[in-house]
Structure 1
Amino acid sequence: MAFNSSPKASAKTPTKRPAQAKPNASNKKAKTTTAAPPRQRRHADIVEEAKVLWNKLRVKTNSPEQTRELLDQLIPLIQNKACQIALQHDASRVVQAVFQFGSPEERASLLKELLEDGTTFLELCKSQYAHFLVLKVIKYCHKEHSEQILKAFRGHMSKLAVHAVGARVLESLFNTFTPKQTAFLKQEFYGPHVTIFASEQSALEEAPTLRKNIEKLPEKKDKTIAAIGSLVNKGAKKMLYGLTFFQELMFEYLSEVDPKEIRAFAATAEIVHLTSSRPGAQAGALLISYGTAKDRKRMLKSLKGFTLSALLHPDAYLMIIRLVELTDDTVSVQKNLLNELVTAPPESENQDSPLLKLAVGINSSKLFRLLLAPESRQKLFDPFEHSVLFENPTVKEDGDEVPTSKKEASVRRQELLKFLREPLEQLCTKHALDLMKSQPGSYVLRDVYAAFRSNEVVKAVIEACRQESSILDDFHGHLSIKNIVLSDVGDSEALFSSMFIEAFSDDLTEICETNRGAFIVEALYKVPTVQKLVKKKIDKKKIKQKSRGDGPTAGFKALLAVL
């Protein structure tokens, strides 16, 4: 018989069931884990009720009576539970509200609860959300409860200083309390071997520094430097550069270590974050001074876009000057720093370049004056600036002291001035009057003229004097003209003095009528090229009479002395 393969026959054939996997231990474990009930957080019902009250409490239009009523409902809810509630991500703000809106007595009671357990207080400082509560405590309780708050930080300073969140709390602490108040806490940064000197708050009369601790315990110098060095290096890895207290520690550390250690630190340092304080600027300048050419190039790139704001900062301008002064790669300096200063903002076609704002700034103008007239460096900077911008930094290599900058200073300066010449001349041509009315601006105007002897600049200054003749009797204006004239004394061409006499030869007698005008004429008389022309226009008898008159006479007497 032939085998029957009809549909009827195949329908009778039993169908195989798919094989089922045998349950194993891992499956049982997974099943048990997923089946576990969700974890219930502590005081859940209380937190939810407190959050409803907080939402009403934070409304700015609440009357004092409404605020008081809400607080009377909120405070009993969180009493004796504040620490646990504050550590919850969405409930910390509820406890903060009591410090913000509560009475001094309510703040004191809640503060006592928070500080009873030192371990919990440390957790609050390090918590991403709860640390805001500690910031509120510092803000609202620092006057009445300073001693309690400061003692709560004792023993925790080194841990908090290198904690990403805790460091923010310390920043607020140091900014709120005086250096004398926090002296015993700051001492912890220098190691346990020096903390003994700050066992009591009154033990230190002034803020400690690394230098003072080394002088006090010279035999422990290496140990002290190692302690603060560990903090600084850990903090740098966590990018704490922007905190003022950390910048102070960094500067103290860099000031005491060998230049090679500074160079090693400079390899990874982010100096753009150091532009917010004086210690930061000092630390940044040290890193620039001892960094390699590669380090400086990286620093230049990081400061791109921040040059203008740094130059206008009361301290950060020193970092920019240091970079410009020591970087051999002048092309990088032009691209990353100077280009920002000579380019007008794109949002307005009629807006001036930032150069004018910098030229009339007391500190920012020093960058241009140093490049234009390096011989004035000694007088240009005060003792503090000289301590930061010290000359010829060197690093020891193979037993020899090697300068950290290889290129000749004069070559570097000429390369930068080649880039800046046109923008500076345009500045003086377009804003001559503005520069003459400002002391820093008048110095920049004089130095631009002395460096380039530009006809266009001279014409702009003389035109400004014609348009506003009172500038010759202005306090800054007459000094500006006088200083430009004096820069012609050793020059055979005496471009400015010659053109000024040509323009104002018939007005010299009138200019001599004022005390300040007499100073200008006295300066002109010192220029050999125009001396004879000036002498013809001066009425000596009239000047003598003026010198004996009432009011200021120093200018008349100075003119008589040279005649």
Structure 2
Amino acid sequence: MTTKGVKRPAERDIAPSKKVKVLEKEEESADELDDNSSLDSLDELDSEEEEGDGEGKDGSKEEEEEEEEGEEGEEADSSNRTEKTQKESREEHRKLLQERKMKRKSGIEVERIKRLWEKLRVRNPPVPKEIRKKLSDEAWSLCHGVIGDLVLKHDASRVVQTLVKFSSKDRRDQICKELEPYYYQLATSAYGKYLLVKLLHYGSKESRALIIKSLHGKYRKLLRHKEGAYVLEDMFVLYATATQQQQMLREFWGARFALFHEGKEGKTVEEACAESPENRRIIAANLSTTIKASVEKGSTGFQVLHAVMKEYIKIFEGEEVRDFIDLVKDQVAEMVHTPEGAEVACTIVAKSNAKERKAILKGLKPHAMLMVKNEFGHNVLQTIFMTVDDTKLVDKTFSVEYSDKFTEVLVDKYARRPFLYLLNGLDKAYFSPKAIGELDRYMEMSKETSKKPQDKRRTELLQYFIPLFYKTLEDHPYELLRENMGSQFVQELIMNNELPSASQYREKALTIILDSVKGDLTKEDHLIHEKYTERLLKSLLQGGKWNREKKTVEKIENIGIGYDFAKKFAEELFDSGDDEDAIKMWISESESCFVLVGLVDCFKLHEEKPEARKFLETIKKEGKFIADQESKGAQLLGKIIIQ
């Protein structure tokens, strides 16, 4: 295989062009001498041409054409000489480069291995399994004893990466053992790091343990290294077990804690610090130094650093808290996407003073949408809602960022939770006991800096956000109601009666919901076929939410639901002149039949009212049609109307 040479302009392009320029300068100087020595003769020729007839003019044209042809020939010869010179220069450079490679340590073996690799790495068409195995075996036989020369070179390192990818488990284990002395060099090499990640990805459990053990004692250096930080990140997040992760973190406490620990798991950082003030001082100093150096290097986005920070926030105190917050307050947005980073962010939000919180919110503003839709990041917004006293600042920071895309927020599994908190507080229907425990812990931390009662803070924020909630429903009803989580949020929104000012929005929202469920139910895209639409309508007809523990409906009075909504529902959908056909359509669909069950239940409680009595009489007339239906909803409806 011919190896391509490295392009060096000084040897290939610049040198030939210099020769051409020298020739051009010589020609120009010669022309100048001729011009100066024969000025008189030129004047005579010019005067003769002026006095001459047409034949003289034609003769001069022929002479000019001959001169032009001569110049073109000279230029062609010159360009040929230049191309030949460049070609010779390239060939000489290739030969020189090849000779240098062959003189290097293991140069011959490396070249032979690379020839095999060129055949092995072909993707289209894929190499047959038998041929690939044969090529791999041959390449591996040449790698023995020279693998250290391969792994740290950009092109040769890829050879070993391919071997790792296509080799058997035993072969990979052999490669891992042979490379053991080079792991740190690989981790800190611009090219070798990819090979080390490949070994972690394709290697066995034992091989990964060997790599992690071999790098023990060098984790702090790796975290602060430009290339090594990426390897450490993958090792910690993707390949280390929980026990190995804890052992890796212990190294950041200090050398004495990394080398000696009791039991399989060892002590936690709190337990180690509780043993003596000296322990706490050493651990805090080591963690703080590592964190500061890594943040200044631009490694704030790494999960392994977030884990180190999490260890630190468990033990920092006094002035250490202020120093740490000052270090990371502008970079919180880079931390919220990992579980450890989100916990650190929530902690510093809870412990920050008003000025520090303002800086934190300013840094989060451009990333508000990504944060709230993140599995861990939404907890940071939740903590902000629960701890920051300046509710006006919170509103200004996030309302603008969410206003254009609030539908995406309200239908997202994670993003809607902080806003459900504004409506219902820490409702157990949406917050697990573990999540409630974590949020209560942040509330406890914030007592030093937060002065407002939690309920007052929540009510103020709700007052800011509730117009945005209703505007989203008004502008995007189908997008919101078509999603189960969005429909569920709408139910919680309408049934929230904390703010008297919300009544003006609620009435319009109920009309929008009714308009959204009108139309032909047999169409597949009708909202009634969405899973939560039926539940939403039944809840509004029943006048409250179902309490699982008490097994009863907790009714909410004077907000336009219950009988008021049922009366309007019947008028809008069944009193249009063809009410018989409309009722039959709702009976024939299973989902809508369950809604009718809720409507009948509501009217039975108000039989003395004419609207209720009229509808019940109408539905009873359809008894035979209901009996002919096979859906569960129709069967239940049939039982209710004859009771």
Aligned to 1:499: 568
Change (3 A) 1:208 1:136: farther
Structure (1 or 2) with the larger CA radius of gyration: 2
Asked if structure 1 preserves the Cα contact closer than 8 Å seen for 2:106 and 2:146, the reply is no
Residue aligned with 1:96, SS: helix
- Partners of 1:554 and 1:209 lie apart in 2 by 60
Asked if structure 2 preserves the Cα contact closer than 8 Å seen for 1:171 and 1:244, the reply is yes
Change (3 A) 1:276 1:239: same
Asked if structure 2 preserves the Cα contact closer than 8 Å seen for 1:124 and 1:131, the reply is yes
Change (3 A) 1:489 1:133: closer
Residue aligned with 1:467, SS: coil
Residue 425 of structure 1 aligns with an amino acid whose one-letter code is Y
Aligned to 1:28: none
- Structure 2 gaps of 5+ residues are 1-99, 497-501, 545-554
Q: Does 1:173 align with 2:235?
A: yes
Change (3 A) 1:503 1:228: same
Asked if structure 2 preserves the Cα contact closer than 8 Å seen for 1:497 and 1:530, the reply is no
Aligned to 1:402: 448
Query: What count of residue pairs does the alignment treat as equivalent?
Result: 498
The aligned runs of 1:163-202 (5 Å cut-off) are 163-174=225-236, 175-180=238-243, 184-195=247-258
Aligned to 2:269: 210
Change (3 A) 1:450 1:109: closer
Residue 308 of structure 2 aligns with an amino acid whose one-letter code is L
The equivalent position to 1:59 in structure 2, one of 115, 122, 147, is 122
- Partners of 2:417 and 2:639 lie apart in 1 by 30
Q: Does 1:381 align with 2:453?
A: no
Q: Does 1:93 align with 2:158?
A: yes
Aligned to 1:518: 597
- Partners of 1:558 and 1:216 lie apart in 2 by 71
The equivalent position to 1:291 in structure 2, one of 331, 349, 352, is 352
Deviations 1:318-354 (A, max 9, x none): 12333345445556545653323222xxxxxxxxxx3
Aligned to 1:424: 469
Aligned to 1:362: 413
Asked if structure 1 preserves the Cα contact closer than 8 Å seen for 2:495 and 2:559, the reply is no
**Aligned sequence identity (%):** 22
Deviation at 1:461, TM superposition (A): 0.7
Q: Does 1:264 align with 2:323?
A: yes
The aligned runs of 1:60-459 (5 Å cut-off) are 60-61=123-124, 63-64=127-128, 67=132, 71=136, 74-75=139-140, 78-89=143-154, 91-115=156-180, 117=181, 120-143=182-205, 145-174=207-236, 175-180=238-243, 184-195=247-258, 204=264, 209-211=268-270, 220=279, 223-258=282-317, 261-269=320-328, 270-327=331-388, 333=394, 336-343=397-404, 354-371=405-422, 373-375=423-425, 377=427, 379-390=429-440, 393=443, 402-404=448-450, 410=456, 414=460, 417-418=463-464, 421=467, 423-450=468-495, 452-453=502-503, 454=505, 455-459=507-511
Aligned to 2:518: 466
Deviations 1:502-549 (A, max 9, x none): 4257579987994553235545777x9997743664479979999xx9
Deviation at 1:480, TM superposition (A): 0.8
Deviations 1:6-31 (A, max 9, x none): xxxxxxxxxxxxxxxxxxxxxxxxxx
Residue 364 of structure 2 aligns with an amino acid whose one-letter code is L
Residue aligned with 1:390, SS: helix
Residue aligned with 1:389, SS: helix
Change (3 A) 1:108 1:479: closer
Change (3 A) 1:89 1:208: farther
- Partners of 1:309 and 1:158 lie apart in 2 by 30
Residue aligned with 1:60, SS: coil
Change (3 A) 1:550 1:300: closer
Change (3 A) 1:378 1:151: closer
Change (3 A) 1:144 1:268: closer
Change (3 A) 1:266 1:379: farther
Change (3 A) 1:178 1:520: farther
Higher mean C-alpha deviation, range 514-523 or range 286-295:
514-523
Residue aligned with 2:448, SS: strand
Residue aligned with 2:375, SS: coil
Residue 124 of structure 1 aligns with an amino acid whose one-letter code is L
Change (3 A) 1:557 1:69: closer
Higher mean C-alpha deviation, range 382-391 or range 181-190:
181-190
Asked if structure 2 preserves the Cα contact closer than 8 Å seen for 1:515 and 1:556, the reply is yes
Deviation at 1:211, TM superposition (A): 4.8
Deviation at 1:356, TM superposition (A): 2.5
- Partners of 1:59 and 1:404 lie apart in 2 by 63
Residue aligned with 1:425, SS: helix
Deviation at 1:105, TM superposition (A): 4.6
Residue aligned with 1:303, SS: helix
The alignment yields a C-alpha RMSD, in angstroms, of 4.7
- Partners of 2:463 and 2:131 lie apart in 1 by 67
Change (3 A) 1:294 1:110: same
Change (3 A) 1:239 1:324: farther
- Partners of 2:635 and 2:443 lie apart in 1 by 44
Deviation at 1:181, TM superposition (A): 5.3
Asked if structure 2 preserves the Cα contact closer than 8 Å seen for 1:290 and 1:393, the reply is no
Residue aligned with 1:381, SS: coil
Deviation at 1:359, TM superposition (A): 1.8
Change (3 A) 1:183 1:320: closer
The equivalent position to 1:489 in structure 2, one of 553, 556, 580, is 556
- Partners of 1:393 and 1:558 lie apart in 2 by 51
Aligned to 1:476: 532
Deviation at 1:462, TM superposition (A): 0.8
The answer to which structure has the higher helix fraction is 2
Deviations 1:25-50 (A, max 9, x none): xxxxxxxxxxxxxx999538458725
Residue 359 of structure 1 aligns with an amino acid whose one-letter code is L
Asked if structure 2 preserves the Cα contact closer than 8 Å seen for 1:160 and 1:166, the reply is yes
Asked if structure 2 preserves the Cα contact closer than 8 Å seen for 1:51 and 1:94, the reply is yes
Asked if structure 1 preserves the Cα contact closer than 8 Å seen for 2:413 and 2:485, the reply is yes
Change (3 A) 1:307 1:496: farther
TM-score, normalising length from structure 2? 0.63
- Partners of 1:369 and 1:449 lie apart in 2 by 12
Residue 556 of structure 2 aligns with an amino acid whose one-letter code is V
Change (3 A) 1:368 1:102: same
Change (3 A) 1:138 1:541: closer
Aligned to 1:15: none
Residue 439 of structure 2 aligns with an amino acid whose one-letter code is L
Change (3 A) 1:493 1:514: closer
- Structure 1 gaps of 5+ residues are 1-38, 344-353
